[in-house]
Amino acid sequence: MTILPFMIGNAWRTGGGQAFASIDPSTGRQVAQIGSASGADVDAAVAAARSALSDPAWRDLKFHERAGFLYKISDLMFAQIDHLARVQMEDNGKTLSECRSQATSAASTFRYYGAVCETFESEVNTQRGPSMTMTVYEPVGVVAAITPWNSPLTLEAQKLAPILAAGNTVVLKPSEVTPRIALEYARLAIEAGLPAGVLNVVTGHADIGRALVDHTDVDMVSFTGGTASGCAIAQACGARLKPVVLELGGKSPHIVFADADLDRACKVAADGIFSGGGQSCVAGSRIFVEASVHDAFLKAICDQASRFRMGAPGDTAVSMGPMVSFQHREHVAKAVEAARAEGGKVLTGGDVPSEGALARGAYYPATVISGVTNQSRVAQQEIFGPVAVVIPFTDEQDLVRQANDIEFGLASGIWTGDFAKAWRVARAIRAGTVWINTYKETSISTPFGGFKQSGLGREKGRNGMRTYMEPKGLYWHVD
């Protein structure tokens, strides 16, 4: 099988590391061999990015000229939605419909940041002395972007687009589980005419990510992934005073009050944890239900879970594909067994499929667990799978206490017909995103990030571009 190369300075190379396989988790079939970078390749990628940073072909572009490259990438992506969706589907097993939606969102992200870049302005500050003062924003420099496996189309776009819009250069290191979308972004960058070295992609395992984080010529690190890895990256960057943005884990509370539209709340709560196989940082995996409607809601969400049909992700009748890998499926299954050991009641799902086509893939069913408290491991630890734990609460004070009693603070959902209650609870919940009478709606124009162990900094929105810029104060004496 031909080895797929990665890209440094607009040139393709198979690398000095050991090639590795890309596996379709729906079948266990190898779909590609991926070239792996070595330490020397990382050095070459960073050097290419550093050189491009000072190249007038990139450095001296006016904002609207830089935006033009983002528009070109967006146009190319819109013309190739189905191809990009199928590449992601083969790599991580998400349904084709979800992958198409994510490809469209990713293309729109480049278009959005093209517009942000084109309309970006410096600031004239209120005069408080003899000089006129201004704030200008400059690129931070060479950025290492390290991305996870669950949604490479959108998550890589949400890093690359603002990094480039801000005038930086970038070395992208994707997850070794889903490396092929990053290679598509490399191809698109070349087709759009980006100068050599502005966008580079290196593929490989965790050691390649560590080499980028530790590299003395990398000015900033942007990471999305697990909290443990994020803490290690923060420590390494802190030792060098290197800026870092971290989008990390979550164990989001999805809250249902008795006065909510319970039918709609149940359907959306089920989608909030089971869609995409629960492999989302904002998945509503802790479902808190007011005690007076707890039993009825529990029965209803089990019914919703049973409707999530597993199967080949390219089948339009399927609502849930496999886990991203067999290794991750094993992790999810072990978490459910640990919940059983704690006394949890697995009301639906909870068993690895053992027959037919499902047995050949990394499938795991939509699973609902009750009978545990918020202090149980299944309620406190991120599983990143289609596993919902349903917990009752007595009143608003009890709910806020339980919802916040966790190390994460990424997202939350609230269902109630009481506007004042929704406002109080939304302000009381320690989370970077709160949805009210909806869940998992996204907008590239709205900042995203977490509290506590869910991360540092914010991505998306206009300020998502400033995340990758350094503000500089200018004083101009006018007397």
For range 145-154, the mean pLDDT:
97
Query: Do 216 and 299 belong to one domain?
Result: no
CATH code of 324's domain: 3.40.309.10
Query: Do 373 and 297 belong to one domain?
Result: yes
Q: Specify the pairing of strand 220-224 against strand 142-146.
A: parallel
Reference 172, options 182, 157, 158, 187; nearest CA is 182
Percent of the chain residues past pLDDT 70, beyond the cut? 100
Phi, psi (rounded to 5 degrees) for 41? -70, -40
Are 429 and 411 within 8 A, CB to CB? Answer: no
Query: Do 435 and 459 belong to one domain?
Result: no
pLDDT band at 122 (very low <50, low <70, confident <90, very high): confident
Q: Classify residue 177: in a domain, yes or no.
A: yes
Please check the confidence at residue 479 and state whether its pLDDT lies above 80: no
Half-sphere exposure of 1 (CA within 13 A, CB side): 14
Q: How far apart are CA 370 and CA 199, in angstroms?
A: 47
Largest Cα–Cα distance in the chain?
84
Domain that holds residue 277: 253-443
Q: How far apart are CA 120 and CA 360, in angstroms?
A: 51
pLDDT of residue 208: 98
Query: Do 169 and 318 belong to one domain?
Result: no
Q: How far apart are CA 391 and CA 359, in angstroms?
A: 32
- Total domain count for the chain? 2
Query: Do 225 and 335 belong to one domain?
Result: no
The helix/strand/coil state of 165 is helix
SS3 content of the chain, % helix, strand, coil (to 5): 40, 20, 35
Residue 18 DSSP symbol: -
Q: Classify residue 78: in a domain, yes or no.
A: yes
Which strand ranges, in their side-by-side order, compose the sheet holding 244-247?
A: 11-13, 6-8, 199-201, 169-173, 142-146, 220-224, 244-247, 455-456
Please check the confidence at residue 434 and state whether its pLDDT lies above 90: yes
pLDDT of residue 129: 78
pLDDT of residue 132: 86
Query: Do 210 and 313 belong to one domain?
Result: no
Enumerate the β-bridge partners of residue 124: 134
Instruction: Give the residue numbers marked as catalytic.
Output: 159, 247, 281, 459
pLDDT for 251-298, tens place per residue? Answer: 999 999 999 999 999 999 999 999 999 999 999 999 999 999 999 999
For range 385-390, the mean pLDDT:
98
CATH code of 237's domain: 3.40.605.10
pLDDT of residue 463: 94
Percent of the chain residues past pLDDT 90, beyond the cut? 96
Q: CB-based contacts of 476: which residues, under 8 Å, 6+ apart?
A: 131, 132, 133, 134
Are 417 and 259 within 8 A, CB to CB? Answer: yes
Q: Classify residue 448: in a domain, yes or no.
A: no
pLDDT of residue 287: 98
pLDDT for 215-240, tens place per residue? Answer: 999 999 999 999 999 999 999 999 99
Cα separations (Å) of 189 from 10, 54, 273, 380, 435?
8, 19, 34, 41, 35
Query: Do 350 and 302 belong to one domain?
Result: yes
How many other C-beta atoms are found inside a 10 Å radius of the C-beta of residue 22? Answer: 22
Which is higher by pLDDT, 178 or 478? 178
Reference 245, options 83, 478, 448; nearest CA is 448
For range 353-359, the mean pLDDT:
93
pLDDT of residue 128: 79
pLDDT of residue 1: 78
Residue with tokens 């149940």: 266
**Average pLDDT of the chain, as a whole number:** 97
How many other C-beta atoms are found inside a 10 Å radius of the C-beta of residue 421? Answer: 14
Query: Do 427 and 286 belong to one domain?
Result: yes
Q: CB-based contacts of 258: which residues, under 8 Å, 6+ apart?
A: 290, 292, 293
Please check the confidence at residue 400 and state whether its pLDDT lies above 90: yes
pLDDT band at 337 (very low <50, low <70, confident <90, very high): very high
pLDDT of residue 270: 98
For range 168-187, the mean pLDDT:
98
pLDDT band at 130 (very low <50, low <70, confident <90, very high): confident
For range 25-44, the mean pLDDT:
97
Please check the confidence at residue 369 and state whether its pLDDT lies above 90: yes
For range 432-438, the mean pLDDT:
98
Q: Classify residue 449: in a domain, yes or no.
A: no
pLDDT for 303-327, tens place per residue? Answer: 999 999 999 999 999 999 999 999 9
Q: What is the pTM of this model?
A: 0.96
